[in-house]
Amino acid sequence: MNLKRYRVNNIKEALKFIKRDLGPDALIVSTRQVKEAKGAFGMFGKTMLEVTAAAGEKKKNSGEPTTATTKALEAYSGGNDTTESTLAETFLRPQNKNVLSITDETRSMMLPIQKELQGIRLNLGDLSTQSNAFDNHLVGELKHELGEMRHLLHILASRTGSLNEPDLPENLLLLYQQMKFSGLEEKFARRLVMEAQRNMTEEDQENFAYVKIFLARMLMKIIKITRGLEGLNPSQRIAALLGPTGVGKTTTVAKIASEQMRKYKRKVALISVDTNHRTSAEQLRAFAKLIKVPFSVVKDKAELNRLISSYEDYDSIIIDTDGCSQRNDKLLFEMREIFDERGRIHNLLVLSATSKDSDMNEVTRKFGCMPIDSIIFTKLDESASYGSLFNHAIRFKKPLSYLTLGQKVPEDLEVASRERLVDLLLNISGT
């Protein structure tokens, strides 16, 4: 008996090949769906129909397949999800005396095929077990991620009321949206407008200018300031600028030194704490030479203390420091060894107004291993929103000392004031 196996798109295509190769009396032994091997693990292969057929015994006056076989094929080609076993029953079960029966020769020829199919099933079972282990790992990870997402969604759902726009009069709602647009956190903006609503009459709430000034006064009560270095001990002002790389510490040191000399006519000395041989130390040296003030480089706390003692006749001592990533614990520890003394040196943390809230928060927390007495915000000219300054002031309750708005020395340095900060957020001057 001649056995042939075909991989085709559908049963009609199989019939065409079977009739051509094995004749109209051919017997379909089995059918199954298979995937062509393509891509990783054959996952992206096309699904095909595999048909195994055998040449049947020719019957006299018979030029077409038997009636039972024809009906079964028609049913399959019509889209019925007939299983392999059901099809086999249809083909093998005698329907009447004219139905093709399976001979002993056919059975002996089918036996190797059945064994092969059994082996394939066992192999597929092994692969399925391995695949299941891998899938279970992926499913476990996906379930973990979905669990976290559900947790976050649950938190958000529990705060639905706080995420919706508050029910406010028009003017308060406009200013609430303006503050949020400027970067003020939603929860802070909401507290402000709700408190303002409780403390204003309905008539006052209809006056936009009045409402804006009312909110401005509330914000001014939140902000703490130091008036630059004026709040320090009048006998000698010693200030060290700390912070990450790239926020403009060295330029700000030059600006403060110029302010102290020009505005207040004070005697100034400059120091650079340099443990990494920074080029900025040379820049500050060149600046010190230009404005004719003493400049020294130190590498540890002992050297710094000796140098400060030698500058006892100077009114202001401004100290530049290494730029340090908030994630460099080793360098932070070294800086802490130098600047952990509270009271004698005023530590100013320098932050860029262009930084994200989350980055500012991380920097302030990490540099909090040292006493931080006030904050300097730089690069205000490069930022379009200033709500983060208020977020930071509210969250950490640190006073602000200076703002910088460019590279010019000393013109682009401002002593931080409440009025200026509120104007940046609410644009009072442009009203």
pLDDT, tens digit, 9 for 90 and up, residues 281-340: 888 999 999 999 999 999 899 999 999 999 999 999 999 998 888 888 888 888 899 998
Q: Assess if residue 318 is contained within a domain.
A: yes
pLDDT of residue 351 exceeding 60, the answer is yes
Asked whether residue 263 falls in the same domain as residue 378, the answer is yes
Q: Assess if residue 156 is contained within a domain.
A: no
Structure tokens at 98: 């004219």
Given this model, what pLDDT does residue 190 score? 93
Q: Which residue range(s) make up the domain with 176?
A: 162-222
Given this model, what pLDDT does residue 127 score? 52
Asked whether residue 90 falls in the same domain as residue 189, the answer is no
Banded pLDDT at 347 (limits 50, 70, 90): very high
Of 404, 414, 287, which is closest to residue 354 (Cα–Cα)?
A: 404
Asked whether residue 204 falls in the same domain as residue 322, the answer is no
The mean pLDDT of 381-389, rounded to a whole number, is 91
The mean pLDDT of 29-36, rounded to a whole number, is 71
Percent of the chain at pLDDT exceeding 70? 69
Given this model, what pLDDT does residue 109 score? 55
CATH of the domain at 323: 3.40.50.300
Q: Assess if residue 152 is contained within a domain.
A: no
What tens digit of pLDDT does each residue of 355-372 get?
999 999 999 999 999 999
What tens digit of pLDDT does each residue of 86-99 get?
433 433 344 444 43
- SS3 state at 213: helix
Q: Parallel, antiparallel, or unpaired for β 295-298 and 316-320?
A: unpaired
Asked whether residue 180 falls in the same domain as residue 34, the answer is no
State how far the Cα of 317 lies from the Cα of 261, in Å rounded to an integer.
Answer: 11
What tens digit of pLDDT does each residue of 174-215 get?
899 999 999 999 999 999 999 999 999 999 999 999 999 999
Given this model, what pLDDT does residue 84 score? 40
**Angle between helix 329-339 and 301-310 (nearest 10):** 30
Structure tokens at 220: 């001014």
Asked whether residue 20 falls in the same domain as residue 95, the answer is yes
Given this model, what pLDDT does residue 126 score? 55
Percent of the chain at pLDDT exceeding 90? 45
pLDDT of residue 7 exceeding 90, the answer is no
Q: Assess if residue 133 is contained within a domain.
A: no
Distance from the first to the final alpha carbon of the chain = 98
Given this model, what pLDDT does residue 64 score? 45
Q: Assess if residue 356 is contained within a domain.
A: yes
Q: Assess if residue 110 is contained within a domain.
A: no
Banded pLDDT at 20 (limits 50, 70, 90): confident
Banded pLDDT at 160 (limits 50, 70, 90): very low
What tens digit of pLDDT does each residue of 238-254 get?
999 999 989 999 999 99
Banded pLDDT at 276 (limits 50, 70, 90): low
**How many domains, the chain?**
3
The pTM score is: 0.61
pLDDT of residue 166 exceeding 70, the answer is yes
**Residue with more model confidence, 354 or 119:** 354
Asked whether residue 90 falls in the same domain as residue 196, the answer is no
**CA distances, 247 to each of 209, 237, 355, 399, 431 (Å):** 36, 23, 9, 18, 31
Q: What is the DSSP letter of 131?
A: H
Banded pLDDT at 85 (limits 50, 70, 90): very low
State how far the Cα of 163 lies from the Cα of 335, in Å rounded to an integer.
Answer: 41
Given this model, what pLDDT does residue 367 score? 93
What tens digit of pLDDT does each residue of 91-121 get?
334 444 443 444 555 555 556 555 555 555 5
